[in-house]
Structure 1
């Protein structure tokens, strides 16, 4: 259906946590794909339905191996694993060194993710200039940057958006396919408006789609137990709002408010 690339421009604002929260609030079939070049966390956080660790050899690495040898788009289905209480996961690399070994497979990988019959939430981690995951960003229906409203992170976000305009073409940037989720307090949502004004002033074309509320207790439970966070919790409700607006930005019809 659609591919959504979730990433950050600097630091660790909570990309993986937001991906997991959005996946749990999603209202139709969805997959979490761990594409973090720094080394994936999803396989370390969750276990399968029998309580066993997820297989780190089945996922991105196995899909890339087949993609390199295939002349057609490789389905991702056989490479997915189902964690206890959550949607399927495409397990990422165990070590950063493995990212380089994927090499030219990133193009076919992006095609496989985009061709999946359900939605894909791709955890792309921190995106830098010339990142290996760039083909996935180019194939995505929408990009979602996660940022804390600090001077440092906003500066790097602005610079990264400018770099993407050069890499992907200005049509993609100014076509409003770029979304931003601001990490903040449930009591202080004015930060989102401030970030939008800054982005507008920079001419980035990015749209702030909401605030992902910092809920330490909920995020900690979600970190190791996908089914352990109530649907009405702050972390899932705020992620649901962000996810719904990203889908709207990408031009996909909403049939529900994703638990909101």
Structure 2
């Protein structure tokens, strides 16, 4: 399965959500950092020896291989394993490094889609004209991460309107879209209220639940996994959320591809 995670405004917690889900995902998984503004995943992690991950090995090296043809690009050669065992495809450090990648986004999406493991992709902030539309079109589900607030909801609704046509939201066989709310662990009304708002606007999307706003655990995810993190509100909420995300994407994998 290929699942794309994105935001409609600012930095509401996409990277933390993808990181937390990747850490507890119940099957083999690759986490890919495709944030066009510059990725953080590789910066947050170290390898098993405590050394920084190589920013040149990941999206940049995979794109170079993809330009030579999908058949020649071996995904495993471009992955790095972070301390704790998470397999990462490091993103770009600076936005200008994306120059020249545009023509091979569809090929890289195909490579992720055909992996024998699940792929969780951090797409960062999505705006009209984003180069990541081929990745989102190849996904089995697109998940938006949002924080509570009128400004966040307004941008989310506008982004959903823009994506309605390219993703064919609401049509038979369309890519399902889910929403994750980053909020306090005690906020049980937030997801329900957001769902009512989106349904009232006619958006055919699924509010999947919440991910706990837990800054201490989010920071600790960049270090060695420990039982303390395992008991955190962030990880506990990620475990609950993972079932909903997988169910959303699995429903699409059982639908024949659109012609």
TM-score, scaled to structure 2: 0.92
Instruction: Measure, in 2, the Cα distance between the counterparts of 1:150 and 1:226.
Output: 33
C-alpha spacing 1:59/1:172, structure 2 compared with 1 (3 Å): farther
State the Cα deviation string for residues 133-162 of structure 1 (Å, max 9, x = none).
Answer: 111100011011000121011011011011
Partner residue, 1:82? 81
C-alpha spacing 1:90/1:5, structure 2 compared with 1 (3 Å): same
Are residues 1:122 and 2:121 paired? yes
Structure 1 counterpart SS, 2:250: coil
Are residues 1:97 and 2:96 paired? yes
Partner residue, 2:109? 110
Please show how residues 239-250 of structure 1 align to structure 2 within 5 Å.
239-250=238-249
Structure 1 counterpart SS, 2:247: helix
Deviation at 1:252, TM superposition (A): 5.9
Partner residue, 1:161? 160
Moved more, 165-174 or 185-194: 165-174
C-alpha spacing 1:252/1:77, structure 2 compared with 1 (3 Å): farther
Instruction: Measure, in 1, the Cα distance between the counterparts of 2:251 and 2:233.
Output: 25
Are residues 1:47 and 2:15 paired? no
Structure 2: give runs of 5+ residues left out of the alignment. 253-259
Deviation at 1:173, TM superposition (A): 9.1
Structure 2 counterpart SS, 1:166: coil
Partner residue, 1:257? none
Partner residue, 2:207? 208
TM-score, scaled to structure 1: 0.91
Structure 1: give runs of 5+ residues left out of the alignment. 254-260
Partner residue, 1:227? 225
Instruction: Measure, in 2, the Cα distance between the counterparts of 1:248 and 1:175.
Output: 15
Contact 1:20-1:226 within 8 A present in 2 as well: no
C-alpha spacing 1:91/1:157, structure 2 compared with 1 (3 Å): same
Moved more, 54-63 or 232-241: 232-241
Partner residue, 1:197? 196
Contact 1:149-1:191 within 8 A present in 2 as well: yes
Contact 1:173-1:204 within 8 A present in 2 as well: no
Instruction: Measure, in 1, the Cα distance between the counterparts of 2:82 and 2:171.
Output: 34
Structure 1 counterpart SS, 2:80: coil
State the Cα deviation string for residues 106-142 of structure 1 (Å, max 9, x = none).
Answer: 1101101111110111011001111011111000110
C-alpha spacing 1:52/1:172, structure 2 compared with 1 (3 Å): farther
Are residues 1:185 and 2:184 paired? yes
Instruction: Measure, in 2, the Cα distance between the counterparts of 1:169 and 1:118.
Output: 26
Partner residue, 2:35? 36
Instruction: Measure, in 2, the Cα distance between the counterparts of 1:82 and 1:221.
Output: 17
Partner residue, 1:69? 68
C-alpha spacing 1:227/1:142, structure 2 compared with 1 (3 Å): same
Structure 1 counterpart SS, 2:160: helix
C-alpha spacing 1:176/1:206, structure 2 compared with 1 (3 Å): farther
Moved more, 129-138 or 98-107: 98-107
